[in-house]
Structure 1
Amino acid sequence: MADKAAPDSARRSERSRRAILDAALELIGELGYPRLTIEAIAARAGVGKQTIYRWWPSKAAVLLDAFTAGGQAPEGAGAALPDTGDLEADLKLVLRAAVDEMNAPAYDLPARALTAEGLVNPELGAHFVDRVLEPSLRLLAERLRAAQDAGQVARDVDPRVAIELVCGPLTHRWLLRTLPLTHEYADAVVETALRGILKR
């Protein structure tokens, strides 16, 4: 009997954890971040507040885990980006996918909340960058290094700076919401950036 208690307890804990993460994502869409509370998450998940506080220090920490565990964060941390030999085409493909993701409510709402919270909570902001943004930026920089190895990009270009030059305008437009974030804009960003870094 004692042998069965531990697995059952672990399964119950995992079910509760999953219910809490699901509840956080549902409620951010229904209530918005300012009205999201630990009490609301606990009620939706069917757990006590103390259960949530045992695992997370704040609603922002719950949302970050829900965002990354639920598949809303950008994919690709474990897979290489396309390398067809055509850097421009590959970057356009990746940035168009990023535009679609950033425009989707499942990404937009929690990502905006976490971005804003990260400005006043440096620890959470660092976790957000490390878990959500950095994996994609790292892969893009690796793709650019491959283009350098193939002789397509000048050797003196810093891949990380170049990738931020490509990704930064999309993030800027997404944050401001003043102009549409479209595939055409993503293509224009790639074309403009490559004019400055392609080997001549």
Structure 2
Amino acid sequence: MVSRTGPRRSESVRLAVLNAADDLLVEQGFAGTTIEGIATRAGVAKQTIYRWWKSKVDILLDALAEDAREALAWREPAGTPAEDLVTHLHRVAGFFEEPAGQVLRALLGHAQLDKDAAASLRAGFLREQRERDLEGLRGIVRRHTGSDPEEATLVRLADLLLGPLHYRVLVLGEQADTAVLDTSARLVLELAARQDP
């Protein structure tokens, strides 16, 4: 059946394409991942892929969004605010070691050279994840201080929380250091408490 926006995507075909793109990127890197390779691995025709995605970047962006929706979600409270914050940071660090994290690294690298890819990454996944991070951190700070932080303060706290982790992983190419994650969480909560009137 055809809708006004074009043929409907089969969910199983969509997932096959996204999984194939993930797998190929991990195996062959960004340059070695092609539409042809994705189509072959997914068992679909190239025309099927081009009907729904313009490029391999678009496929990888969809794959990243699909994987991160659950992997980078903020969980319901399970301990103290400090414990929950540290747990979340460790989950983010773990994400970078998974195939989806490798997709994110590849897209961030490619975005440095391709302004359209950078715009798509920022307008889609990065914006959505930023919103999730701000909302999740807001809940932690509210539990810790008893009140909501001002929006500008929340933004700065999110930068301070995630910046060291992203620097270690994305700039230095190292695994996250447990002591750095624990210290980042502690300092963010201390600063949040100072902002509380």
Moved more, 190-199 or 154-163: 154-163
The equivalent residue for 2:94 is 100
Q: Provide the secondary structure at the position in 1 that maps to 2:30.
A: coil
1:61 to 42, 58, 81: 58
How far apart are residue 110 of structure 1 and its match? 0.4
The equivalent residue for 1:26 is 23
Tell me how far apart the structure 2 counterparts of residues 47 and 91 of structure 1 sit (CA, whole Å). 42
Q: Provide the secondary structure at the position in 2 that maps to 1:33.
A: helix
Tell me how far apart the structure 2 counterparts of residues 135 and 129 of structure 1 sit (CA, whole Å). 10
Return 5+ residue gaps in structure 1 as ranges: none
1:82 to 58, 74, 77: 77
The equivalent residue for 1:177 is 172
Are the equivalent residues in 2 in contact too, given 1:145–1:159 (CA < 8 A)?
A: no
The equivalent residue for 2:120 is 123
Scaled by the length of structure 2, what TM-score is found?
Answer: 0.78
The equivalent residue for 1:198 is 193
Tell me how far apart the structure 2 counterparts of residues 118 and 90 of structure 1 sit (CA, whole Å). 32
Q: CA, structure 1 residues 98+123, in 2 after alignment: closer, same or farther (shift >3 Å)?
A: closer
Are the equivalent residues in 1 in contact too, given 2:35–2:46 (CA < 8 A)?
A: yes
Give the root-mean-square deviation of aligned CA atoms: 3.0
Are the equivalent residues in 2 in contact too, given 1:73–1:107 (CA < 8 A)?
A: no
Tell me how far apart the structure 1 counterparts of residues 141 and 78 of structure 2 sit (CA, whole Å). 10
- Are residue 136 (structure 1) and residue 129 (structure 2) matched? no
Tell me how far apart the structure 2 counterparts of residues 76 and 36 of structure 1 sit (CA, whole Å). 25
Tell me how far apart the structure 2 counterparts of residues 90 and 18 of structure 1 sit (CA, whole Å). 31
The equivalent residue for 1:109 is 102
Identity %: 30
Summarize deviations over 1:32-76 as a string: whole Å, max 9, x none.
11211111111111222111111011101101212232x355536
Scaled by the length of structure 1, what TM-score is found?
Answer: 0.77
The equivalent residue for 1:165 is 160
The equivalent residue for 2:85 is 91
Letter in structure 1 aligned against 2:191 = G
Tell me how far apart the structure 1 counterparts of residues 10 and 150 of structure 2 sit (CA, whole Å). 51
Q: Provide the secondary structure at the position in 1 that maps to 2:71.
A: coil
Tell me how far apart the structure 1 counterparts of residues 61 and 151 of structure 2 sit (CA, whole Å). 37
Tell me how far apart the structure 2 counterparts of residues 194 and 87 of structure 1 sit (CA, whole Å). 8
Tell me how far apart the structure 2 counterparts of residues 127 and 154 of structure 1 sit (CA, whole Å). 26
Return 5+ residue gaps in structure 2 as ranges: none
Are the equivalent residues in 2 in contact too, given 1:42–1:48 (CA < 8 A)?
A: yes
Tell me how far apart the structure 2 counterparts of residues 133 and 156 of structure 1 sit (CA, whole Å). 13
Tell me how far apart the structure 2 counterparts of residues 76 and 100 of structure 1 sit (CA, whole Å). 10
